[in-house]
């Protein structure tokens, strides 16, 4: 897996263009003030949370002294939560959640707390980190999370941060990740909710592998309906899911009441070509250890799930050779368009679109030449996954994209701000595990 983004590299707000390359940007100053306002807002959230905790503790202390007992103090502290809720027009649950977060980071995540106070991260992302830290069993792993997350938490979206934390948890405590997966799988469900304007929603909770396959299949079926279909891809996907579940796929997919309902197209309900790309260390695949695998795009998978996939008929294995840092070695070819192996390798490396805050899966992206062909080669070092929107952005005035090394890209935007985007290694850096050492010893004896 190689989910990437500035979250995993270093994003800089420094001016990145040489003076002679810059063009006057009237919005640059306003953008600076937007960033400064966001930092001040985040710092004020931290200060507010600290003061909220202070209110509760002062009420607790006051009641304990007056009534001479801890029980009275606890009752007063509970009522202080209601007092805060009334003052802020928040729900009691929201107040309790904010208090729990500030207490946890203050006691267990000191570096995250410092970053929050400095405005480097807001309460939403602090809650993401706290949620991940609470799942860790070993206090040393909590300290590792605190050390590692500080460098990236302010440079990524909440979704990117959540995936980063999930990967770290799966890596440092694979047994716990396996246990949580087993419990979560027993809680799978489907639910519906009636909405407004005569519409409703369907929620489905299932395994990440099945969900990825379902997503691919819906998209493939939707695109297979042809360019003359008047609906958007999203509309087709919704109609297809409804028709397939209701058993009326053979009749077509245009909704009753649609002006096009008379021209219905049969749906080919046969299995479409679904390709799920999962990376996993060879030691885990062979059962020497339980290092997790990853769905391309950032979802960690327990080793047992990946082994089951490996045993499934039709599974195809690709060997990726990595260096000591876990990065895939160079792949290149002649011609403009990357062949399937090179395209797949690029998708595995990038995971998603390489714009700093974009999470579009790599398989839905263009495999773009950073330096346009023919001036730039068709190789691992000059290809990157860009969604169609950010592919167009790359051509916009004042925007430049450089690939400093394979998977390490630098965006420069019209304001002159630069952002580094670094793909995660597809394998963890080479630190031999006990399982790997044992396998290597057996292979040496066999030779």
Measure Cα distances from 333 to 82, 269, 330, 349 in Å.
66, 37, 10, 17
Q: Kindly report which listed range (14-18, 79-83, 210-214, 231-235) carries the lowest average pLDDT score.
A: 14-18
The pLDDT value recorded for residue 14 is 43
The pLDDT value recorded for residue 321 is 56
Residue/partner pairs of 107-113 with CB below 8 Å, 24 or more apart: 108/133, 108/139, 108/142, 108/146, 109/133, 109/142, 109/145, 109/146, 110/146, 111/146, 111/147, 111/150, 112/146, 112/149, 112/150, 112/153, 113/46
The pLDDT value recorded for residue 3 is 44
Q: Kindly report which listed range (7-16, 54-63, 301-310, 372-381) carries the lowest average pLDDT score.
A: 7-16
Region 298-314: mean pLDDT is 80
Of the candidates 440, 380, 445, the one whose C-alpha atom is nearest the C-alpha of residue 409 is 380
Spatial separation of the C-alpha atoms in residues 173 and 180, rounded to whole Å: 11
Spatial separation of the C-alpha atoms in residues 144 and 132, rounded to whole Å: 12
The pLDDT value recorded for residue 281 is 73
The pLDDT value recorded for residue 333 is 45
pLDDT digit string, tens, across residues 5-59: 454 434 444 444 444 455 667 888 899 999 999 999 999 999 999 999 999 999 9
In this prediction, residue 335 has a pLDDT band, given cuts at 50, 70 and 90, of very low
Assess contact for 351 and 5: CB atoms under 8 A: no
The pLDDT value recorded for residue 308 is 83
Question: Is 70 exceeded by the pLDDT of residue 413?
Answer: yes
User: Residue 82 belongs to what domain range?
Assistant: 36-172
Tell whether 265 is covered by a domain.
no
Q: Kindly report which listed range (5-9, 152-156, 369-373) carries the lowest average pLDDT score.
A: 5-9
Among 98-107, 203-212, 361-370, the range of highest mean pLDDT: 98-107
Among 145-149, 277-281, 379-383, 405-409, the range of highest mean pLDDT: 145-149
Q: Kindly report which listed range (168-172, 244-248, 323-327) carries the lowest average pLDDT score.
A: 323-327
The pLDDT value recorded for residue 293 is 81
What length is written for the chain?
A: 447
Q: Buried b / exposed e across 157-188, counting CB within 10 Å, b at 16+? A: beebbbbbbbbbbbebbbebbbeebeeeeeee
Region 211-232: mean pLDDT is 89
Provide the mean pLDDT of the chain.
82
Q: Find the distance separating the first CA and the last CA of the chain, reported in whole Å.
A: 32
Spatial separation of the C-alpha atoms in residues 108 and 97, rounded to whole Å: 16
Question: Of residues 328 and 211, which shows the higher confidence score?
Answer: 211
Percent of the residues in the chain that have a pLDDT greater than 90, as a whole number: 50
Q: Kindly report which listed range (56-65, 171-180, 430-439) carries the lowest average pLDDT score.
A: 430-439
Region 68-80: mean pLDDT is 88
Tell whether 90 is covered by a domain.
yes
Tokens at 149, concatenated:
């997350």
Tell whether 63 is covered by a domain.
yes
| Positive/negative CA dihedral, 383, 299, 293, 404 | positive
Tell whether 65 is covered by a domain.
yes
Region 420-427: mean pLDDT is 74
Spatial separation of the C-alpha atoms in residues 77 and 210, rounded to whole Å: 46
Count of the separate structural domains present in the chain: 2
The pLDDT value recorded for residue 249 is 67
**What is the reported pTM?**
0.78
- Output phi, psi for 11, to 5 deg: -100, 130
Region 344-372: mean pLDDT is 90
Assess contact for 429 and 325: CB atoms under 8 A: yes
Of the candidates 248, 262, 277, the one whose C-alpha atom is nearest the C-alpha of residue 344 is 277
Tell whether 323 is covered by a domain.
no
Question: Is 80 exceeded by the pLDDT of residue 447?
Answer: no
Spatial separation of the C-alpha atoms in residues 127 and 130, rounded to whole Å: 5
Percent of the residues in the chain that have a pLDDT greater than 70, as a whole number: 77
Tell whether 70 is covered by a domain.
yes
Question: Is 80 exceeded by the pLDDT of residue 136?
Answer: yes
Among 116-120, 227-231, 336-340, 341-345, the range of highest mean pLDDT: 116-120
Region 138-156: mean pLDDT is 94
- Output phi, psi for 441, to 5 deg: -65, -45
Tell whether 320 is covered by a domain.
no
Tokens at 109, concatenated:
């995540």
Tell whether 319 is covered by a domain.
no
Spatial separation of the C-alpha atoms in residues 46 and 52, rounded to whole Å: 10
């Amino acid at each position: 897996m190689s989910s990437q983004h500035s979250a995993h590299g270093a994003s800089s707000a420094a001016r990145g263009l040489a003076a002679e390359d810059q063009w006057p940007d009237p919005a640059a100053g306003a953008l600076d003030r937007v960033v400064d306002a966001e930092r001040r807002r985040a710092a004020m959230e931290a200060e507010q949370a600290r003061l909220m905790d202070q209110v509760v503790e002062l009420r607790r202390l006051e009641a304990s002294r007056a009534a001479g007992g801890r029980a009275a103090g606890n009752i007063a502290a509970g009522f202080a939560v209601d007092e805060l809720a009334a003052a802020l027009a928040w729900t009691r649950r929201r107040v309790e959640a904010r208090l729990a977060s500030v207490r946890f980071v203050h006691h267990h995540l000191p570096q995250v707390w410092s970053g929050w106070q400095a405005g480097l991260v807001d309460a939403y992302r602090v809650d993401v980190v706290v949620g991940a830290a609470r799942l860790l069993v070993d206090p040393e792993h909590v300290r590792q999370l605190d050390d590692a997350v500080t460098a990236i938490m302010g440079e990524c979206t909440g979704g990117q941060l959540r995936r980063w934390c999930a990967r770290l948890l799966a890596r440092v405590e694979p047994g716990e990740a396996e246990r949580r997966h087993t419990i979560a799988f027993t809680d799978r469900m489907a639910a519906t909710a009636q909405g407004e304007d005569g519409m409703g929603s369907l929620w489905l909770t299932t395994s990440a592998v099945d969900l990825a396959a379902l997503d691919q299949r819906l998209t493939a079926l939707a695109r297979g309906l042809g360019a003359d279909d008047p609906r958007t891809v999203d509309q087709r996907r919704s109609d297809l899911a409804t028709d397939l579940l209701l058993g009326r796929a053979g009749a077509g997919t245009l909704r009753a009441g649609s002006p096009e309902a008379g021209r219905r197209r049969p749906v080919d309900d046969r299995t479409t070509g679904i390709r799920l790309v999962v990376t996993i260390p060879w030691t885990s695949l062979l059962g020497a250890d339980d290092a997790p695998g990853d769905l391309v795009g950032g979802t960690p998978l327990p080793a047992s799930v990946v082994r089951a996939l490996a045993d499934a008929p039709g599974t195809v294995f690709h060997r990726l050779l990595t260096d000591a840092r876990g990065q895939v070695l160079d792949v290149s070819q002649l011609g403009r368009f990357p062949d399937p192996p090179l395209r797949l390798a690029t998708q595995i490396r990038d995971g998603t679109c390489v714009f700093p805050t974009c999470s579009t899966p790599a398989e839905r992206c263009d495999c773009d030449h950073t330096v346009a062909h023919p001036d730039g080669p068709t190789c691992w070092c000059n290809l990157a996954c860009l969604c169609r929107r950010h592919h167009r952005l790359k051509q916009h005035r004042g925007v430049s994209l450089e690939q400093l090394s394979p998977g390490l890209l630098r965006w420069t935007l019209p304001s002159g701000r630069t952002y580094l985007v670094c793909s995660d290694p597809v394998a963890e850096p080479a630190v031999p595990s006990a399982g790997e050492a044992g396998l290597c010893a057996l292979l040496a004896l066999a030779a």
